Structure 1
Amino acid sequence: MAYQPIVIFAQNLAEAWVKALKELMEKGYERFIEAPDYRCKQKDAPTFIHIPNALAEPRLHERVPFPKEEAEEYARNVIYGIGDAKKENEFDYTYFGRFRCYPDCDVRAEWPNVVLPEEIEKTKERLCNGRCKVRVFDQVRLAIDTLRRDPTRRSVVLVSWIVARDSMKFGPKREKTSSPCIVLIQPQIAEGKLHLFVYMKTNDLFNAFPLNAYAMTELQRYMAIEIGVGVGSYTHFVSSMNLYEDVYELAEEVVRRSLKT
């Protein structure tokens, strides 16, 4: 099939999963992935999913490849952390680490808009002078506090990407490490409700999307309660939503059984 986007509107996440499986199996672009650590066939497509009520049940389809308890634990870990610093640090990244313990440099906040090489060097010397004051940001708390003060704010954005680290995957200092798939989260308040927009660079539709979307809607619930508003819509956009070849038959079976009921 030609490379083209898929758009899914559904009443709940379980319905969205089945619709996306069907669309990706029928219309997904077939490609062979040659990554340094694996090679395989897959179908993929830029995918947009919208749920008008983020918490509408069922959020987990009965045939997702994990128990509900695993999804609940995963969501807790995203919002509150694993609760064991040593275990948390064993991972290349966690979403709790990126969204609630995000490292940034205060010096960078003073950086002006300069693009000429000579001006960049002068600015580096003037501002940095070999120093970097690292500060750790709880972006979730910052978003909550900002939207409490100003519910109309449209510039509340939570990011996971650390350019100097995540753009160096498979570089000389990082041979086999991973970078976060959830890159950006943007909450918006409208009609007295918190709407959540999530952007992912890649997403394994069969195995990971149900977990990711469940956790993000739990984060949405948590933030809405903290702000003091209702829960609104959930929008999930992925540049490369994919299905790996080894789950094609499983995906077709889920779709076939779901359409019968």
Structure 2
Amino acid sequence: MEITFIEARDLPDAWFQCVYNIFDKGREYVIDRGSFKGNRRLEYDFVVVKIRYPETRPLIPDIPPGIGLPPPTDMEYVQEYLEKLCSASSKADNEDYTYGMYLEHQIQEVIRMYREEGFGTNQACMAVCDPQSIYLEDPPCLRQIDTRIYPEERKLHFVVYFRSWDLWAGFPSNLAGIQLLKEYMAEEIGVEPGETIALSKGMHLYEYAWELAKIRLGKS
């Protein structure tokens, strides 16, 4: 298993670098189970992305004019994703779960933990899914948001793990929403938002997005 390390300035830079490097570092295979079954994915074995200034605006990628591509996401969708992260009541009738079902109470507990008990802890980690999730047709992709505050910095850092991660549209939407969550939590705790480190053993481009990515990179 090859581990790819990417260090980025901000969220759009992280997305661009991940798209750029996947054509050299990614492994192509046919999907036996999961979204787009029978199609091909191009996927990193394992990727670690360190984003130093994820609070920098804009939070989502901007497609240069003249390329003729629609942007991979927009802030309206990011806000919808943020609601899914934070609120259990955001679950629609046709959905098996929403992230807020797992995270809503954990978010408040992490805020309480840091405010009332201090920053010196490794226990402020928020988990997604339960033992029954493995039986879902589409189990949660986001599995963990771990946190860290160093007393000398007073910044809230996130360490985020995705079991499977659509790079083209999912990555920019997800990390922008997670950044907004981090900023809310940091304000409630009384610290500044810090870095994001994102990890995945399943970050991929679906076959339909290969040509889109090449156009964005100027390789088409």
Q: TM-score range with shorter-chain normalisation?
A: 0.7 to 0.9
Kindly indicate whether residue 150 of structure 2 is the aligned counterpart of residue 183 of structure 1: no
Post-superposition Cα deviations, 1:185-240, rounded to whole Å, max 9, x if no partner, equal 11110211100111110100002111111111111111101101011101110111
Alignment of 1:205-224 (within 5 A): 205-224=167-186
- The alignment partner of 1:34 has SS state of coil
**Residue aligned with 1:39, SS:** coil
Deviations 1:2-35 (A, max 9, x none): x522211111110110100011122201111111
Max Rg structure: 1
Post-superposition offset of 1:36: 6.5
The match for 1:75 is 82
Corresponding residue of 1:152 = 120
How high is the TM-score relative to the length of structure 2? 0.87
- In the aligned structure 1, how far is the partner of 2:135 from the partner of 2:121? 33
Corresponding residue of 2:27: 29
Where 1:88 maps in the other structure, the secondary structure is: coil
Counterpart amino acid of 1:229? V
1:140 aligned partner? 107
Change in Cα spacing, 1:57 to 1:200, as seen in structure 2 (3 Å) is: same
Q: Residue in 2 aligned with 1:174? A: none
**Contact 2:60–2:74, Cα closer than 8 Å, also in 1:** no
Specify the SS of the correspondent of 2:62. Answer: coil
Letter in 1 for 2:24: E
Query: For the residues of structure 2 that align with 1:70 and 1:145, how far apart are their CA atoms?
Result: 29
Question: Could you give the per-residue CA deviations for residues 43-93 of structure 1, whole angstroms, max 9, x where no partner exists?
Answer: 11111111112211232111332322221232233224565xxx5343111
Checking the alignment, whether the CA contact within 8 Å between 1:182 and 1:201 is kept in structure 2 is yes
What's the offset of the Cα at 1:252?
A: 1.1
Residue in 2 that maps onto 1:233: 195
2:202 is paired with a residue whose SS is strand
TM-score, scaled relative to structure 1: 0.74
Where in structure 2 are there 5+ consecutive unaligned residues? 64-70
Distance change >3 Å, CA 77–CA 49, structure 1 → 2: same
Give the total of aligned pairs: 207
